[in-house]
Amino acid sequence: MSGDCILSVDRLTMRFGGIVAVNDLSFGAERRNITALIGPNGAGKTTVFNCITGFYKPTSGAMRLTHDDGRDIRLERLNDFRISKQAKVARTFQNIRLFPGMTALENLMVAQHNALMLASGLTFLGLIGAPSWRSAEKRAIDQATLWLDRIGLLERADDAAGNLPYGDQRRLEIARAMCTEPALLCLDEPAAGLNTRESAALSELLLAIRADHGVSILLIEHDMSVVMEISDHVVVMDYGVKIAEGSPQDVRDDPKVIAAYLGADEEEAIAVMESGT
Amino acid sequence: MTAPAPEPTLASRAPGAAFIFKKALISALVALVLFSLMIGIRTEAGPTGQLIYWTRFGDLAAMVGAVFGGSIIVELLRQWWGPVGTIRIVPPSVQKTLAVARRGIAPVLLIFTFLVPVIFYNQRYILDLGILVLTYVMLGWGLNVVVGLAGLLDLGYVAFYAVGAYSYALLATNFGLSFWVCLPLAGILAALWGVMLGFPVLRLRGDYLAIVTLAFGEIIRLVIINWQSLTGGPNGVTGIPRPTLFGIPLTPGDDGLAARLGIEFSTTHRIVFLFYLILALALLTNWVTIRLRRLPIGRAWEALREDEVACRALGINTTTTKLTAFATGAMFGGFAGAFFATRQGFISPESFTFQESALVLAIVVLGGMGSQLGVALAALTMIGGFELFRGLDQYRMLVFGVAMVLLMIWRPRGLIGHRAPTVFLRHSQAISSDLVKEGHG
């Protein structure tokens, strides 16, 4: 894959004991594009995500993140919170991980932690209520309000996140990730558990985020309507290896992909397709 | 057991009755086994040293009957009133009055506390008790940072209390430093110990964290006992200087406060001074904690309690966040320790046993984890209430235990079981304790 890649994954391998979850995987995500990572259950998609976002340390391979200013960051050398803080990679989780006992607004405030920490003079300026801190806090609240408005949750800003409906929680988690001002946004099954209408709204939100904030998006998704509608590039995985990649249309017609999804042999799948057309 | 439906029919009640009966029967059986030897048979040494015993089956039967009946009553109460979270039929007007009362309770309590030395000037016992309660309020508020906000279960909090007390005692007796110089030093030293404890336990969670902090508390105590050359071992440190009012001693001498003000000397002056000193320290703790909660560090503590993985995904350094929580809590414990040393004038390792840690933790849990007002109320109930029951002699512990059990049945998340948001757009509304996580360490 050519062009301007924000993320290039090169020969990534992740082993858990004897199990090879990801095997020699290489792919790239282009800047300001929406790249989808799809594949049947257990294909190793979330493992790839966990490697990119620093939750796992890959067994081997390289992951290079290139910022707009040309700064290169080797993700496999960073770990834990530094991926988000320094490399500006934000993520959401397959099973929503909000702070349920905190309000929607507080959730978005926590996401701005690192910027606010500096503004509060590592707490000391904040403790004495310095004016610079106050204005920084106000800006942070404005930023959070802006996002709450975008995801249509302004009315419920002061409600506990755990009390929000499922679809709202999904959108709030995306807004929270965006409040860290990422360069790359990784979404792990953002449409899981959403109904058709909510899925459509999600697609719109993701397209709007990309258009307005110039952020690149990498997503894992099972909902093919979302994948086909918004992705620019699709990478298909099965059993830890990449079996296909290309535009949504290409991938949809790829016999190997159909075989992986139908669980049939390649020849059989081709036969099925040919008899269908 | 399920909560009763709003309008229970006879049919839905019937299995409930069977359940209650069965439960009471089991309780009675356990009581029978337990008490058959404790109450049923009484042994004593006879005049020539032989064992004589007699049976008290009547008392045993009465006891088992009481357990049976009591178990039914408790179950019925639980089913009718239910724990927090079940359907409650409280009219809105009552709820509104309660909400007003809840808002008013903190200022009323504060004003009353300020007036205590005025009202009870001649009652030394009440003043001493007030100082004791305030010391535990301060310790509770300190531990609340670690347990209530950051969700890190710390069973060794007394270690920081001890570090603070010994810091002041040793600095004052060996180098003659004044209380006001030693107070910040004691806080800083305790905070350092907090960080030292923090490092090895960063990777631990829940039960494991609790065990290591428990061990840490014991290690500090054992070091104090055995490092005789420095700490005086089990004999403790004596002759710790009393605090001065910024250099003016509260003594009967010519340079004492009473002589300078031209009033008659009274030992009560010192007690009143100590009372306001600990009140000021406790209020400082409270003020700082409330401020910290609204700062990014405080929000990060609470976020850590809610979900550590999500924190890491948002770029929050969980290591420093945990360490600052430990250090802040420890610092307040150190302040309280320095105050304890100057108040007592004598400290020994006996004052810093696990029981103290457990008591402070009980105050935090009972108060409602994370709630400042709850902790203050719990300290008042635990320490003050304990003294209140003094007239009941040997039944004191029993009454106290029953009160605790009842409280935990009705308010399993503590006296103040809801969380107040740290920031709001339109209106601040309390968050139900059902949503707030307790943290996993």
Q: Are A153 and A258 within one domain?
A: no
pLDDT at site A109: 93
Residue A275 belongs to a domain: yes
Residues A70 and A195 in one domain: yes
Count of positions (residues) in chain A: 277
Q: Are residues A162 and A253 in the same domain?
A: no
Q: How far is B242 from chain A (nearest CA, A)?
A: 31
User: What phi-psi label fits residue A39: left (phi over 0), alpha (psi between -120 and 50 degrees) or beta?
Assistant: left
Structural domain that includes position A117: 99-179
Distance between CA atoms of B360 and B382, rounded to whole angstroms?
10
Number of domains, chain A: 2
**Domain identity same for A7 and A115:** no
Cβ of B296 and A157 within 8 Å? no
Whether B135 has a pLDDT exceeding 90, the answer reads yes
* Residue B330: both structure tokens together: 């420890």
Q: Is the pLDDT reported for residue B441 higher than 70? A: no
Taking CB atoms and an 8 Å cut-off, how many pairs form between chains A and B? Answer: 136
Whether residue B2 has pLDDT greater than 60 = no
Residue A87 has pLDDT above 90, yes or no: no
Quick check: B283 pLDDT over 50?
A: yes
Contact B296 A117 (CB under 8 A): yes
Q: Where residue A270 falls among pLDDT bands split at 50, 70, 90? A: low
State residue B241 phi and psi, 5-degree precision. Answer: -60, 145
Evaluate whether B272 touches B117 at the Cβ level (below 8 Å): yes
Chain B residues touching A138 at Cβ < 8 A: none
Asked, for residue A94, whether it belongs to a domain, the answer is no
Q: CA dihedral defined by B276, B277, B278, B283, rounded to 10 degrees?
A: 80
Same domain, yes or no: A103 and A79? no
Q: Are residues A187 and A162 in the same domain?
A: no
CA–CA distances in Å: residue A52 to residues A73, A82, B102: 12, 12, 49
Please state the φ and ψ torsions of residue A9, each to the nearest 5 degrees.
Answer: -100, 125
A166 with A269, same domain?
no
Q: Which 3 state secondary structure label does DSSP give A26? A: strand
CATH 1.10.3470 is right for the domain spanning B100-432: yes
Radius of gyration of chain B (CA): 25
Q: What is the pLDDT of residues B199-236, one digit of tens each?
A: 888 777 778 888 888 998 999 999 999 998 888 888 88
Residues of B in contact with A98 (CB under 8 A): 307, 310
The more confidently predicted of residues B53 and B262 is B53
What would the pLDDT profile of B57-98 be if each residue is shown by its tens digit? Answer: 888 899 899 999 998 888 887 776 655 444 455 566 766 777
**Residues on chain A touching B318 (C-beta within 8 angstroms):** 80-81
Helix (H, G, I), strand (E, B) or coil at B4: coil
Q: Do A116 and B296 touch (CB under 8 A)?
A: yes
Same domain, A276 and A186: yes
Task: Pull the structure tokens for residue A199.
Answer: 């899925």
Measure CA B290 to chain center: 18
CA atoms within 13 A on the CB side of B61: 4
pLDDT tens by residue, A243-252: 888 888 888 8
Residue A84 belongs to a domain: yes
A106 with B421: Cβ contact below 8 A: yes
Residues A84 and A220 in one domain: yes
Q: Does any domain span residue A192?
A: yes
What is the C-alpha to C-alpha distance for residues B421 and B427, in angstroms, rounded to an integer? 10
Min CA distance, A93 vs chain B (Å)?
Answer: 8
Domain boundary residue, one of A179, A203, A219: A179
Verify that A169 and A233 share a domain, yes or no. Answer: no
Q: Which residue, among B149, B287, B288, B306, would best test binding to A if mutated, counting the most A CBs under 10 Å from its CB? A: B306
On the question of pLDDT at B371 being above 80, the answer is yes
Same domain, A24 and A147: no
Read off the CATH number of the domain in which A22 is found: 3.40.50.300
Q: Which residues of A touch B (CB under 8 A)?
A: 53-55, 80-85, 90-91, 93, 97-103, 105-106, 109-114, 116-117, 120, 123, 126-127, 141, 145, 154, 157-160, 162-163, 176-177, 180
| Record: contact B436-A97, CB cut-off 8 A | no
Q: Which residue has the higher pLDDT, B62 or B99?
A: B62
Q: Tell which of A139, A163, A179 closes a domain.
A: A179
ipTM: 0.87
pTM of the predicted structure, to 2 decimals? 0.82
Contacts of B292 in chain A (CB under 8 A): 123, 127
At B163 the pLDDT is 94
Map out the domains of chain B as residue ranges: 10-81, 100-432
As beta bridge partners, residue B43 has B53
**Burial of residue B273, with CB atoms counted within 10 A of its CB: 0-12 exposed, 13-18 middle, 19 or more buried:** middle
Predicted confidence at residue B85, as pLDDT, reads 47
Query: Best of A106, A146, A147 to disrupt the B interface by mutation (most B CBs within 10 Å)?
Result: A106
Question: Residue B316 is nearest to which of A81, A93, A97, comparing CB atoms?
Answer: A81
Higher per-residue confidence, B193 vs B12: B193
Which residue type does A85 have? K
Q: Which has the higher per-residue pLDDT, B46 or A209?
A: A209
Nearest to B307 among A53, A99, A120 (CB): A99
pLDDT of residue A275: 52
- What residues of chain A lie within 8 A of the CB of B307, using their CB? 97-99
Boundary residue ending a domain (A179, A194, A226) = A179
Distance from the Cα of B419 to chain A's closest Cα (Å) equals 8
Residues A65 and A202 in one domain: yes
Report helix angle B179-201 to B158-175, nearest 10. 140
**How far is B84 from B97, CA to CA, in rounded Å?**
19
Contacts of B426 in chain A (CB under 8 A): 157-158
Which residues of chain B are at the A interface, by a Cβ-Cβ cutoff of 8 Å? 288, 291-292, 295-297, 299-300, 302-303, 305-307, 309-318, 324, 419, 421-429, 431-432, 435-437
| pLDDT tier, B328 (very low <50, low <70, confident <90, very high otherwise) | very high
Select the more confidently predicted residue: A226 or A269: A226
Across the interface, of B299, B310, B315, the residue whose CB is closest to A85 is: B315
- Looking at per-residue confidence, does B96 or A179 come out higher? A179
Neighboring chain B residues of A120 at a CB cutoff of 8 Å? 295-297
